[in-house]
Amino acid sequence: MALNEMRNMKEPNYSKIREVIRDPRLFGDPLMRKLAEGSERVGIPANSFHLVHEGFWDLYCKKPATPDLSSRKLEGWVNFINIKLPTTEPPAEPTEDAEGTAEGEPVPVVEAPQPEPVKAIARVRIPFKRPEPEDPDAEKEEDADDSKSKKSSKSKKDEKKEDPPLEEIEYEDKVECIPTIGENYSIYVVHQLAQRMVREHIAKEFKDFLPDLAHTDEAELLKVLERDAEQFELDFFKTFYADAPVFDFELN
């Protein structure tokens, strides 16, 4: 069955794809494979990961496990999804008369090919509005005045002033394309804006569908999601790619 034409999947095909999504060795996406095999290491219970992952495919294939949803209700949601194949070469498809395999026995699992080693991680972040640089001559005069006042207040403890959080620019709805594959290496690129748009869309869908979230403050909900998502991102790379340097770029 062709990709993106599997939304009305029937048996036995649906049972077969269920077996695939439960076996991380068959995952084409190396990030999803790492997360499936080590979700506990980044604070996600294995059962929770599989519940969300398999739940996505249940909805995508229009086989929801709840009577509150129907195939017709899923039409608008499913049409937002466009699945693409990974850029790596697919494994060779096994044949029924595989050498060394007796008739009737299952063909050994062929693991998905591994990508090039990760050389670095680039996080593309939304640019901030930064204050204008101060006049250097004015700074010298202020330093001279400060030196006089410091002599008379040496006994006072210095108070550290925290800089106020920077405000983001009015960003455009676009994502900068960045090459991720080199001759003998790969680079993971994480787009903050793209992630945020997806999270906000999912959060709003949940809020509209779940009665328990109907009275939740949407702005506060999105703020908490943003904070937790960034912390998870840092924990993920620290856990699975500890040797790869992380670079932040402000682009839009």
Mean pLDDT lowest among 23-37, 59-73, 156-170, 224-238: 156-170
Provide the 3-class DSSP secondary structure of residue 233.
Answer: helix
List C-alpha distances in Å: 69 to 15, 25, 49, 63. Answer: 21, 31, 21, 9
Beta carbons within 10 angstroms of residue 10's beta carbon: 9
Q: What integer pLDDT is reported at residue 148 of this predicted model?
A: 53
| Residue whose pair of structure tokens reads 């210095």 in the numeric block | 158
Q: Which residues contact 148 (CB under 8 A, 6 or more apart)?
A: none
Task: Kindly report, residue by residue over 56-80, the tens digit of the pLDDT.
Answer: 888 788 777 777 777 677 776 777 7
pLDDT at residue 7, as a whole number? 72
pLDDT at 230: 87
pLDDT band at 45 (very low <50, low <70, confident <90, very high): very high
Q: What is the band of 224 on the pLDDT scale with cuts at 50, 70, 90?
A: very high
| Percent with pLDDT over 90 in the chain | 5
**Spatial distance between the Cα atoms of 127 and 189, rounded to a whole number of angstroms:** 16
Task: Give the count of beta carbons closer than 10 Å to the beta carbon of residue 236.
Answer: 21
Condensed to tens digits (0 to 9), the pLDDT of residues 231-243 reads: 888 888 899 888 9
| Least reliable range by pLDDT among 20-29, 50-59, 82-91 | 82-91
Instruction: Kindly state the tokens that stand for 108.
Output: 């050994």
Tell me: the pLDDT tens digits for 168-210?
888 777 777 777 887 788 888 888 888 888 888 888 888 887 8
Alpha-carbon gap, residue 11 to 238, rounded angstroms:
41
Query: What mean pLDDT value characterizes the chain?
Result: 77
Whole-angstrom distance, CA of residue 229 vs CA of residue 225:
6
Residue 122 CB contacts under 8 Å (≥ 6 apart), including other chains: 178, 187, 188, 189, 190, 246, 247, 249
Tokens of 225: 């999601």
pLDDT at 141: 59
Model's pTM, two decimal places? 0.62
Query: Domain residues of the chain, as ranges?
Result: 1-82, 114-129+167-252
Alpha-carbon span 37 to 73, nearest angstrom: 33
What's the rounded Cα separation, in Å, for the pair 118 and 101?
36
Residue type, 143: D
Q: pLDDT per residue over 103-152, tens digit each?
A: 555 556 666 666 678 889 999 888 888 777 776 665 555 555 555 555 55
Q: What is the DSSP string of 191-223?
A: EHHHHHHHHHHHHHHHHHH-GGGTTS-HHHHHH
